[in-house]
Structure 1
Amino acid sequence: MPTPASFVPRHALAGLLILAGLLLQVLGFTDFVSVPHLVGYAFWLATLLLWRDIPQRTRLQAGVLAGLGLAMLLVTDLHYGESLQWAGILDGNTHVVAMLVGVSFIGLIGNRRDRSLGRSVTGLRGTAGTWLGVHLLGIILNLSTVFMIGDRLARNGTLSLPQLLALNRGLSSAALWSPFFASMGVVMTLAPGMTYSSVLAVGLPLALLAGAITLLDLSRRFDLAEVTGFSLSPRSLMMPSAMAMLVLLFHYWLTPGLTIVSIITFLLPAVALASNLVQGPRWTFARTRRHALERLPAMRGEISLFLCAGLFTLGLSSLIDAATGGEWTLFAEFGAAQGVISFLVIVASAIAGLHPIIGVSVLASMLDLKGSEQTLFAFVALGAWAVGTAAGPLSGINLSLQGRYGISGYRMMRHNLGYAAVMAGLVSMGILALDIAL
């Protein structure tokens, strides 16, 4: 395979370290190999190699989180005399990062320019197709779906504001229920006792309502008659549906001892590699090598943010436990009222420019969740993530839209504030309903 013109040895080494972190994580699922802390070391070393290439705003947030987390750990150790396992302080959120890396291998399945992806249509039907296409494909393919569909729509000219808003809201609302999203990975790590079926029962209807609200809002504010949209083909839904069924098969029958996050981490890369092996080992090796050297280093922003948030959460929770003797929590109990307050604060912080993972991580570090409270917390976190990433000017999707299609993140925020307000009300009602059901 020829060396690309933009080949950077530092990036290549970081990509191989990220791949090594994924492999070590998968090996850790077996009973034969024990690799404590090596996963975190691999991911963090890769992050350090890529640090200078991380976007400035993300680097600032990640750096502040890591610095504060380390400072709080030092205070916990030196001032309060609490014994800490320093060898494992880099383990925070490594499960989530490994899942994100695993999900990225879906890009090796098929050809993104496959004509079976869908066709263009106009009007309200087309806009509905854009939202639905991004939502359904995005539950598996995540942010890459926005570019797949956005680039196809951009063939007819610069993307219009209604098109961009449909892309934004279609993907962000999938965080309410998709088991393949980073948001779900985070909450499953912070609240391992959550019941996914309960979250799904509330999150999926809310996601569908988000689509209806988007269509109502865009048709009222814009003339959609000439706005090009997207229409899914039945074939394009086969892969996401098959992946979801495979995950459920492993979760309930083949590997019931593993969490959904763990299953996704090894299953998606395995399926991606198997789909390439029909073309031969050399073809598979070439595509995997390119993915490791180019795609994985490009994930530096999200990887650094999740790792640094994990260190911050560990530092904050350790300091709180040391200072209070492990007896203080933000709320004595976590019910509907506390959930709504927490949700609104996290969304407000996202609109102010903080990634929702920061608010979610801080909240988790100050709670002592018991029983069904973990499920309620999970839905609060997912709702805040879905609404916060849609409206937050510095969220991953808005920064990606800005970089790819030239739309300001702050302009997206202004046009999403009304949508965020309506969704905030619906999510708050969902929190109340879920609390009653639990």
Structure 2
Amino acid sequence: MPDNAASPITPRHALAGGLVLAGLVLQVAQFTNLLPLAHAVSYCLWLATALLWIDIPRRTRRQAGILAALGLGLLILARTWHGAKIDWPGILDGNTYVVAMLVGVSFIGLIGNLRGRSRPPGKALTGARGMLGTWLGVHLLGSILNLSTVFMVGDRLERRAPLSTPQLLGLNRGLSSAALWSPFFASMGVVMTLAPAMHYATILTFGLPLAMVSGMLTVGELSRRFELTETAGFSLSPRSLLMPVSMAALVMLFHYVITPRLSIVSIITFLLPGVALLANLPRGPHWTLHRVHQHTLTRLPAMRGEISLFLCAGLLTLGLSTFITAATGSTWTLFGQFGPLEAIASFLAIVVSAVAGLHPIIGVSVLASMLDLDAGRQTLFAFVALASWAVGTSVGPLSGINLSLQGRYGVSGTTMMCHNLGYAAIMTLLVVGAILVMEASL
């Protein structure tokens, strides 16, 4: 069962959804310093995860459980073997910023659907133009709306016929490649937390062109491998682009003018829910509260898989970094320096681990815990993390996008992996080249 699958609304689900919403509200309140409750956000999110644990898909639950057990075990070993000082009440705080951002982004689903009906924008095309429209539509809209865009576009295409392999690959690659540059993606949230001194402008300079090349590669390859004459595609209308472009402009306005002290992650966390509420208010407070109530009961509990994975990965990162620091006296790092060769090796290792079934956040988090990066090296690390996330999630059979496509449209993750191996190999070569060019320019 995919993470987004609907579950019967029970008191347990309602309580969990309320706790996730409370975590978001508390996180936003902390930005104002009006409600400085230490660890309250993480406690709400972890309690919600515990309530929803039995509903999490088995594979995701197994991964999350292993991550949490390893993280907790390493903390215990660091304390008992090396006498490390552990802030036990705060061990659950890892990645809560990212989870709060994901929850905030989910409220965008309340915009453009004010009558409660799903009505994806655009018209279906066929052939190579249609494939380009599918990739571009999912990429641009997904850069803001994340995974929900895949289902918006995919369900629209499925009205004509069951989704074919090239359509599924277009959905997969359109979304995963947005991780290369989008400030709204969870990947960017993780990276900004791990490398706060990164230069986003540099990431955008390399990541956005690489994503566009990914789109051209996808259209060219699929046109060559498959007969697309009757394959339905998705066409963007100017109105479809209005919302994502407007949201991106608002985020930049807040980041550079209104609230320059807040990170992009923090701004997204409060801005997107705020815009969603304002979009609903013209229909009255009662309507708005009803929409928020339904969102809390249905959509927020459905995020259980991604929430659990990010929280447990945060615990693993803390445990691993604490243990390494305690065991080595803060002197050991994976690499003596983080240059282009080390960056390429790290990228390849994370992608290979994704093919083996690990979510890229695990590889990125473990890598960060083993490095001691000065400000000048954090941009290169950030690019490696984002690129490995983009390539790894496209090809990894157990990535969130492939598991969701499997649950929604019936394609296996292994099938998606096999079809994406060639694409991943070419993207790997391009990423390696980008790393070398970036290193020369830094």
TM-score, structure 1 as length reference? 0.98
Offset of 1:279 from its aligned partner? 0.6
Matched, 1:414 2:411: no
User: How far apart in 1 are the matches of 2:419 and 2:112?
Assistant: 35
In the alignment, what sits opposite 1:143? 147
Q: Which runs of 5+ in 2 are unaligned?
A: 1-5
Moved more, 331-340 or 203-212: 331-340
Shift in Å, 1:114: 6.4
Per-residue deviation, residues 22-57 of structure 1 (Å, max 9, x unmatched): 000000001332121110000000000000110000
Of 193, 208, 225, the match for 1:189: 193
Secondary structure of the structure 2 residue equivalent to 1:390: helix
1:372 Cα deviation after fit? 1.9
1:432 to partner: Cα distance: 1.1
Matched, 1:10 2:5: no
1:20 match: 22
Equivalent position to 2:111, from 109, 112, 128: 109
Match of 2:3 in 1: none
1:97-119 CA distance string (max 9 Å, x none): 00000000000002285657100
CA RMSD across the alignment: 1.2
1:165 alignment counterpart? 169
1:340 aligns with 2:347: no
Distance 1:192 1:68 in 2: 26
Contact 2:130 2:235 in 1 (8 A): yes
Matches of 2:365 and 2:99, distance apart in 1: 15
Match of residue 302 from structure 2: 298
Q: Which runs of 5+ in 1 are unaligned?
A: none
Conserved 8 A contact 1:116-1:235: no
Pairing 1:264-343 to 2, within 5 Å after superposition: 264-343=268-347
What is the alpha-carbon distance in structure 2 between the residues aligned to residue 189 and residue 252 of structure 1? 19
Structure 2 counterpart of 1:389, from 388, 393, 398: 393
The aligned amino acid for 1:38 is A
Distance 1:116 1:398, change over 3 A: closer
- CA–CA distance in structure 2, aligned partners of residues 265 and 32 of structure 1: 17
Letter of the 1:383 counterpart = A
What is the deviation of 1:328? 0.3
Give yes or no for contact 1:273–1:284 (8 Å, CA) kept in 2.
yes
**Identity, % of aligned pairs?**
68
The aligned amino acid for 2:74 is: M
CA distance in 2, matches of 1:317, 1:303: 21
The AA in structure 2 aligned to 1:343 is F
Secondary structure in 1 matching 2:382:
helix
- The letter for the 1-side match of 2:58 is Q
1:343-354 paired onto structure 2 within 5 Å:
343-354=347-358
Deviation at 1:434, TM superposition (A): 1.2
**Following the alignment from structure 1 to structure 2, what is the Cα–Cα distance between the partners of residues 294 and 125?**
36
TM alignment of 1:29-428, pairs within 5 A:
29-111=31-113, 117-428=121-432
For 1:51 and 1:105, the matched residues in 2 are separated by 23
Native 8 Å contact 2:354 2:393 kept in 1: yes
Structure 1 residue 5 displacement after superposition: 9.8
Helix, strand or coil at the partner of 2:125: strand
Code of the aligned partner of 2:205: A
Distance 1:343 1:36 in 2: 35
Cα deviation per residue 1:372-409 (whole Å; 9 max; x = unaligned)?
21110000000000000000000000000000000111
Letter aligned with residue 130 of structure 1: T
- Distance in 2, Cα, partners of 1:293 & 1:141: 19
Q: Distance in 1 between matches of 2:315 and 2:8?
A: 32
* Alpha-carbon distance in 2 for matches of 1:371, 1:302: 29
Q: Distance in 2 between matches of 1:257 and 1:399?
A: 37
> What CA distance in whole angstroms lies between the structure 1 residues aligned with 2:13 and 2:7?
13
Q: CA deviation at 1:362?
A: 0.3
Contact 1:389/1:397, CA 8 A, preserved across alignment: yes
Measure the CA separation in 2 of the matches of 1:93 and 1:173.
22
Flag the 1:115–1:9 CA change in 2: closer, same or farther, 3 A.
closer
**Partners of 1:275 and 1:151 in 2: CA distance:** 24
**Following the alignment from structure 1 to structure 2, what is the Cα–Cα distance between the partners of residues 56 and 45?**
19
Q: Is the 8 A contact 1:116 1:233 kept in 2?
A: no
Q: Read off the aligned partner of 1:69 and give its amino acid letter.
A: G
State the one-letter code of the partner of 1:102. G
User: How far off its partner does 1:431 sit?
Assistant: 1.1
Distance between the aligned counterparts of 2:436 and 2:421, measured in 1?
23
* C-alpha contact 1:391 1:413 (8 A) present in aligned 2: yes
Aligned-partner Cα distance in 1 for 2:315–2:120: 43
Deviation at 1:262, TM superposition (A): 0.3
Name the aligned partner's letter for residue 318 of structure 2: L
For the residues of structure 2 that align with 1:82 and 1:226, how far apart are their CA atoms? 63
**Contact 2:120–2:156 (CA under 8 A) maintained in structure 1:** no
Partner of 2:234, secondary structure, is: strand
| Count of matched residue positions in the alignment of Structure 1 and Structure 2 | 435
Q: Which amino acid aligns with 1:397?
A: I
State the SS of the aligned residue for 2:271.
Answer: helix
- Compute the displacement of 1:69 (Å): 0.3
CA contact (8 A) 2:111 2:279 kept: yes
Could you tell me how far apart the structure 2 residues matched to 1:323 and 1:354 are?
26
What one-letter code is carried by the residue in structure 1 that aligns with 2:185? Answer: F
Any idea what the Cα deviations from partners look like across 1:46-94, whole Å, max 9, x if unmatched?
A: 0000001100000000000000100100111111111111110000000
